[in-house]
Structure 1
Amino acid sequence: MRFIGIKEIEDISVGAALLGTGGGGDPYIGKLMAIQAIEENGPIKLLSVEEIDDNDLIVPTGMMGAPTVMVEKTPNGDEAITTFKTLEDFLGKKIIATMPIEAGGINSMLPLALAAKMKLPVVDVDGMGRAFPELQMTTFYLNGVQASPMVIADEKGNVALLNTIDNIWAERIARTATIQMGGSVMMAIYPMKGMELKKSGIHNTLQLEEEIGRSIRLAKDGNYDPIEKVLSLTKGVLLFKGKVADIDRKTETGFTRGTAKIEGLHENKDETLQLFFQNEHLLAKTDERVLCMTPDLIAVLDAETGSPITTEGLRYGARCVVIGMPADKKWRTEKGIETCGPRYFGYDMDYISLEELQEQAKGAL
């Protein structure tokens, strides 16, 4: 057990944006909310998974909706508290701790803000090890944990409690409601016992995010390459160097969808990389080969500072580096690939791991 303060929040927000693979919402807004909550209520207690009891009720929180909506539709801070109190009333049981549902942008920050306000500890675990666009795309789902009963709430005061027959229906109904509620909501979801969380969660995510953020922050003073350090921490691979030549981005059916074209520089000169995203980056390919695909992680970093760039933050002319990172082994199972592999998102290809794609590239040289 340890406590998280403002300095830790700054570092975690950067690491969360990177592991969020372009999605999960802009961490800046969530960072400000978490910092304000800590200033008003004191630091947050961070627990390891081993420190929670098997029968404790743990509930993840986060934002559902299109990341682009967050630019104009900022949470007022009370929605998450409303969802937790509504869920507690329905279950007739006290929530002992919260946690991020995903390792992504604002969704790694919002649980920290809620924890400070409600004096709850945060468990160092999440349900993705990255960010994904749909509610059933969690390792909890892979392990048979139900997403509902779940509660969503908007900034206007609307609250909906959903009790669905399965997690796919939870996504469908909640997504429709989210669109009607303005494109983004706060949620309390996947209520589970400590024993379920220990088996199905991805451990030490916040610690990794903090290490990534700290390494990027200290790179200049430490006189080292922040991108190389990030690759070391995440077991990642440098995929492409270039500058953003075109970006096609739109919000539809509750998601931010689009493609980005990156013109190659340096060793990638005369090549063009295409990135395909649905909130998060899902596929990176050139005309000749695929470089990385979901569920493995794809992130875009500023070429000079190593700072992560979200899908809504991609701008024409930005010089960047694209990296790939291997997904947690839970995602590389048959059910994991069926849930969030390339075919689920409509790409006509079977999943090939980042490591295998790298070997194929070496063989082609």
Structure 2
Amino acid sequence: MPRELPIDDLPDLARGAALLGAGGGGDPYIGLLLVRAELERGATITLLDPDEVDDDALVVASAFMGAPTVVIEKIPGGDEPVQALRSLERHLGRAADAIIPMECGGLNSMIPLLVAARTGLPMVDGDGMGRAFPELQMETFGVYGVSGSPIAICNERGHTALLDTGPDNHSMEWYARAVTVRMGGVAYIAEYPMTGAQVKRTAIPGTSSLALALGRVIRLAHDEHRDPFEALAGCLATTIYRFGHSLLEGKVVDVERRSADGFVRGSARIATFDGGRTVELTFQNEHLMAREGGRLLAVAPDLITVLDAETAFPITTEALRYGQRVRIFVIGTPEIMRTPEALAVFGPRAFGLDADWTPVEELVRIR
């Protein structure tokens, strides 16, 4: 049934969302502060399960897009995603009935909550990525037939652009990325207008609740002096993700990172403390591939995360630094993200990676 999100749950939700961000999606802390301020002023946020949304309701995905490193320098005021929503509503000639996250990872777990708090609209407990991905077409909404456009894009000056590429979600991403770059590298969007029936068919359910549960597990394990990595693996085993595993513990020995074309691209090398093993991570906003020498250890759409070795708190790609003591932790993906249709959109080849997808639980057994 519909339920209200308590303000005290925000830190756990943000921590779990940073984990599901797979290193990307932006640091949720800025968004947490914005949402908390709204709740402290008396706003409320109502969460709905996908099956509680009326079939004929209009549901709109809300998010930021651009390079996460830029968000640190261009902190949002909070009006931008609401202005994007209002612009899309005017174009459609209809008011939205609910908001849904584009992705459940990182800052984009918080932007829809901010819109819900500021507008009074309920937020659907689900999303279109089950993690964070760098491109707009990489959503289960689009994989299973929903058009991402028309899309409204807004910046901190209130400048808004509307794009309509029909069912061509790749072109939507291409043009929207160019607009975002011209807007300074980060913008706020309203996209994938869909019916409640389409939400039920295409969304990954319960991912906001999952982020909250994972964040709580990490906090409680830390507070109770239990192994947080074992606690995470145990929690994930009971979810549609089913699998979590510690791949390697060591320190960051090298990071190469650059902002280009609206993304943060680069790589990181993490070596065991004795220097006997080194794993290289490749990222485009999010971690996409983990290799040890020529051996594949994990690859998108499975989640590759870097966590603090002691606390298991997630570390985003823009926060990776030489000398950090970390644990690489990998997570499986739900069945809806494993179909041939889904892998064609956000599998390894979609990122130009020279690898085919093998489920991470199989790669761990192989190793």
Same fold by TM-score, threshold 0.5 exceeded? Answer: yes
Selected match of 1:305 from 297, 305, 311: 311
Tell me the CA shift for residue 233 of structure 1. Answer: 2.0
CA–CA distance in structure 1, aligned partners of residues 222 and 315 of structure 2:
19
Selected match of 1:251 from 253, 259, 265: 259
Selected match of 1:207 from 206, 209, 226: 209
CA–CA distance in structure 1, aligned partners of residues 23 and 189 of structure 2:
21
Q: Which residue of 1 is the match for residue 240 of structure 2? A: none
Contact 2:101 2:128 (C-alpha < 8 Å) held by counterparts = yes
Q: Which residue of 2 is the match for residue 32 of structure 1? A: 33
Q: Which residue of 1 is the match for residue 239 of structure 2? A: none
Q: Which residue of 1 is the match for residue 9 of structure 2? A: 8
Q: Is 19-28 or 280-289 further displaced after alignment?
A: 280-289
* Residue 279, structure 1, aligned to residue 285, structure 2: yes
Tell me the CA shift for residue 256 of structure 1. Answer: 0.1
Per-residue Cα deviation, 1:88-119 (whole angstroms, up to 9, x for no partner):
11111110111211011100001111111111
Q: Which residue of 1 is the match for residue 172 of structure 2? A: 170
Tell me the CA shift for residue 220 of structure 1. Answer: 3.1
Normalised by the size of structure 2, how large is the TM-score? 0.96
Q: In structure 2, the residue corresponding to 1:191 is in which secondary structure?
A: strand
CA–CA distance in structure 2, aligned partners of residues 186 and 41 of structure 1:
24
Letter in structure 1 aligned against 2:337: W
Tell me the CA shift for residue 53 of structure 1. Answer: 0.3
Normalised by the size of structure 1, how large is the TM-score? 0.96
Tell me the CA shift for residue 221 of structure 1. Answer: 3.1
Letter in structure 2 aligned against 1:203: P
Unaligned 5+ runs, structure 2: 237-242
Contact 2:44 2:120 (C-alpha < 8 Å) held by counterparts = no
Contact 1:13 1:213 (C-alpha < 8 Å) held by counterparts = yes
Q: Which residue of 1 is the match for residue 96 of structure 2? A: 95
Selected match of 2:366 from 351, 356, 360: 360
Letter in structure 1 aligned against 2:269: K
Q: Is 152-161 or 348-357 further displaced after alignment?
A: 348-357
Q: In structure 2, the residue corresponding to 1:208 is in which secondary structure?
A: helix
Q: Which residue of 2 is the match for residue 222 of structure 1? A: 224
Q: Which residue of 2 is the match for residue 157 of structure 1? A: 158
* Residue 74, structure 1, aligned to residue 80, structure 2: no
CA–CA distance in structure 2, aligned partners of residues 150 and 178 of structure 1:
12
* Residue 350, structure 1, aligned to residue 350, structure 2: no
5 Å matches for 1:119-134? 119-134=120-135
Q: Is 4-13 or 182-191 further displaced after alignment?
A: 4-13
Contact 1:38 1:113 (C-alpha < 8 Å) held by counterparts = no
Letter in structure 1 aligned against 2:253: A
Contact 2:43 2:118 (C-alpha < 8 Å) held by counterparts = no
CA–CA distance in structure 1, aligned partners of residues 198 and 350 of structure 2:
26
Q: In structure 2, the residue corresponding to 1:196 is in which secondary structure?
A: helix
Letter in structure 2 aligned against 1:172: W
Q: Which residue of 2 is the match for residue 262 of structure 1? A: 270
Q: In structure 2, the residue corresponding to 1:21 is in which secondary structure?
A: coil
CA–CA distance in structure 1, aligned partners of residues 315 and 223 of structure 2:
22
- Give the length in aligned residue pairs: 359
Q: Is 217-226 or 282-291 further displaced after alignment?
A: 217-226
Q: In structure 1, the residue corresponding to 2:192 is in which secondary structure?
A: coil
Q: In structure 2, the residue corresponding to 1:239 is in which secondary structure?
A: strand
5 Å matches for 1:102-121? 102-121=103-122
Contact 1:255 1:278 (C-alpha < 8 Å) held by counterparts = yes
Q: Which residue of 1 is the match for residue 344 of structure 2? A: 338
Tell me the CA shift for residue 82 of structure 1. Answer: 0.9
Q: In structure 2, the residue corresponding to 1:141 is in which secondary structure?
A: helix
- Report the identity percentage: 47
Tell me the CA shift for residue 72 of structure 1. Answer: 0.3
Q: In structure 1, the residue corresponding to 2:180 is in which secondary structure?
A: helix
CA–CA distance in structure 1, aligned partners of residues 298 and 206 of structure 2:
24
CA–CA distance in structure 2, aligned partners of residues 345 and 354 of structure 1:
18
Tell me the CA shift for residue 331 of structure 1. Answer: 1.9
Q: Which residue of 2 is the match for residue 241 of structure 1? A: 249
CA–CA distance in structure 2, aligned partners of residues 42 and 5 of structure 1:
11
Contact 1:58 1:95 (C-alpha < 8 Å) held by counterparts = yes
Letter in structure 1 aligned against 2:186: S
Tell me the CA shift for residue 223 of structure 1. Answer: 3.1
Contact 1:238 1:321 (C-alpha < 8 Å) held by counterparts = yes
